[in-house]
Chain A
Amino acid sequence: MKALVWHGTTDIRCDSVPDPQIEHPRDAIIKVTSCAICGSDLHLYDHFMPGMKSGDIMGHESMGEVVEVGAESKGKLKVGDRVVIPFTIICGECDQCKRGNFSVCERTNRNGHIAAKAFGHTTAGLFGYTHLTGGYPGGQAEYLRVPFADATHIKVPSTLSDEQLLFLSDIFPTGWQAAVQCDIEPTDTVAIWGAGPVGQMAIRSAILLGAKQVIAIDRVPERLDMAKAGGAITINFDEESVIERLNELTNGKGPEKCIDAVGMEAHAAGTVDAMYDRVKQATMMETDRPHVLREMAYVCRPAGTLSVPGVYGGLLDKIPFGAIMNKGLTIRTGQTHVNRWTDDLLRRIEEGQIDPSFVITHTVGLEEGPDMYKIFRDKQDGCIKVVLKP
């Protein structure tokens, strides 16, 4: 089959690789009908996340049709079922899964000992996202093996299109969880750093959850345009001071809820801390550039909440914990517990409250995938979200 394969920094190719096989009775194989490039895939493309090996298949946003089912998954899945595959692989049986904390499933990361060394404990296995999370082949391919398939799937109806459903795999529940973590009140201002795909979903989620005011911060004109269409007030951080503008929009009090939809590769030219991060990252003394976290901690209203869906990988420097502690801020973060939210979100799509397909700007075949990584990374051609059709 054809698949997008990681060969090194900024080197992704469309290769021929062996078809996946059932390896365990709980497995299933799906024929991928649509998949997408995620912003967090760019951390692998740029090789900021450690743990990739040449030959790894990329991708963790996929959907398709079940073509083979292992013996132990047959009660839950059958050939022909239409499914979206969540990016977190879940067993559905461990203590964390029973609590709904699917992204920290205790059993699906087959390299859990490596994750435990890095993070203290294992986290869930993920598709196509480093050997730290299990080294499972990803879904930017014609076929995908789904481990623990009896639990790791979202059945979807035939009445909706792939484009409306695909993002249940990651970015829609991720944006949703980011907003839910804020426990939004009708009087709240929610400020969202990053108007990429997750930021766009977080904006719509905050609107659905009834926030009084949503503010999006970015500098890419197309992203700001789309954020405005979703009901956000926009701040271009190249043109104006984020802190001054946020204080102006909140009568000097700061936003009650702040969402970091940027993560480890923040761009913030012209600030002292951004320069500091650049030098430290270039000299391998820091893994992540946490400009957004610093800015959120500084501007957030006392007793407010910082919600962090943006991906961080390792060690962060100069975090103003004094501001966080003294202002009594709550920090909520984590990979998304996808299956915790998807029944509810699927209903909202069916009822017409939201149509996540608004975010798609490019649809191409798998062969064009490697080029699209570069275009997406460099924000060329108005690119915000890429869907691949294997």
Chain B
Amino acid sequence: MRYETERTRRRGHADTATDTLARGLGIFSIALGIAEIAAPRALARALGMKGQEGLIAGYGVREIATGIGILASKDPTPWIWGRVAGDGLDLATLATALEGRNPKKGNVGIAIAAVAGVTALDVYCAQTLSRETAYPLPPMQDYSDRTGYPGGIEQSHGAAQDFEVPRDFRTPEAMRPYTQPQVPQRPMPSM
């Protein structure tokens, strides 16, 4: 089966498991970004990072931008790598909160573990996507003889013009002239 291996899967297709994961990460990114922008004070308090509210909100903007990039692009690969870079930044920022006499070090430890978990998922997703092909695949099966017309297309084209379209399925009479062959039109007068 062609789509079974990473090298032969078509990157950016919504119906492969890795792309589903990528979309999930995109939605997660937007949700986290909204939380960071909506409640930077609460987050700073929980992590003992008072005075860093602006930075947290800034990270929220970054998360939302990355999430939109993942969901809106045909190929989410560079955006997922962008998430990996952002994860590094998050971990470095959280590491600074472990220094000194921060009373919320326990919360920071939990946050670092959570970010590390998501980073692992991001790295796995980015690596898998990078191994998939970004180029169109030729048909695996040749269906070029599957016409469906036993006597050939020329014989079947228009063969059902004897069919009378029921009244309730017909184009309204007022619209009908528009789709009929038109007499040559005079050029539009210049305004």
Contacts and interface: CB of A to CB of B under 8 A. Distances in A.
B143 A222 contact: yes
A377 B15 contact: yes
Contacts of B68: 275
A239 B143 contact: no
Nearest to A201: B148
B3 A379 contact: yes
A187 B14 contact: no
| SS class, residues of chain B in contact with chain A | loop
Contact of B146 (A239, A270, A359): A359
Contacts of B168: 99
A229 B146 contact: yes
A305 B151 contact: no
Nearest to A101: B168
B153 A231 contact: yes
Given A208-B160, A355-B148, A380-B4, A269 B73 contact: yes
A356 B150 CA distance: 10
A236 B12 CA distance: 14
Interface string A151-186: 000000000000000000000000000001101011
Contact of A278 (B2, B27, B144): B27
Interface in A217-259: 219, 221-222, 224-226, 228-231, 236, 238-239, 256
Interface stretch (B45-53, B96-104, B169-177): B169-177
A228 B144 CA distance: 7
A323 interface: no
Contacts of B14: 267, 269
B89 interface: no
Contacts of A379: 3, 15
A17 to B, nearest CB: 30
B53 to A, nearest CB: 26
Interface string A265-293: 00101111011001100110000000000
A304 interface: yes
Contacts of A210: 157-158, 160-161
Interface in A272-326: 272, 274-275, 278-279, 282-283, 302-305
B72 A272 contact: yes
Interface stretch (A27-35, A127-135, A346-354): A346-354
Contacts, number: 167
B136 A209 contact: no
B137 A221 contact: yes
A359 B72 CA distance: 33
B119 interface: no
Given A180-B169, A204-B149, A382-B139, A188 B4 contact: no
Given A269-B12, A275-B68, A355-B148, A208 B158 contact: yes
B181 interface: yes
Contacts of B190: none
A386 interface: no
Contacts of B161: 186, 209-210
Contacts of A344: 163
A361 interface: yes
B165 A183 contact: yes
B166 A100 contact: yes
B13 to A, nearest CB: 7
Given A204-B149, A207-B157, A229-B145, A238 B12 contact: yes
14 contacts: A204-B148, A204-B149, A208-B160, A210-B157, A222-B139, A225-B139, A226-B146, A230-B146, A269-B73, A270-B73, A279-B30, A328-B175, A353-B151, A358-B146
Given A204-B148, A380-B4, 10 more contacts: A187-B179, A207-B149, A210-B157, A231-B153, A269-B73, A283-B27, A348-B159, A352-B150, A353-B155, A377-B15
Interface of A: 99-100, 180-181, 183, 185-188, 200, 204-205, 207-210, 219, 221-222, 224-226, 228-231, 236, 238-239, 256, 267, 269-272, 274-275, 278-279, 282-283, 302-305, 328, 330, 332, 340, 344, 348, 352-356, 358-359, 361, 375, 377-382, 384
Which 7 residue pairs across A and B have the least CB separation, nearest first? A382-B141, A210-B158, A270-B74, A358-B148, A208-B160, A221-B139, A275-B71
Interface of B: 1-4, 12-16, 23, 27, 30, 68, 71-74, 136-151, 153, 155-161, 163, 165-166, 168-172, 175, 178-181
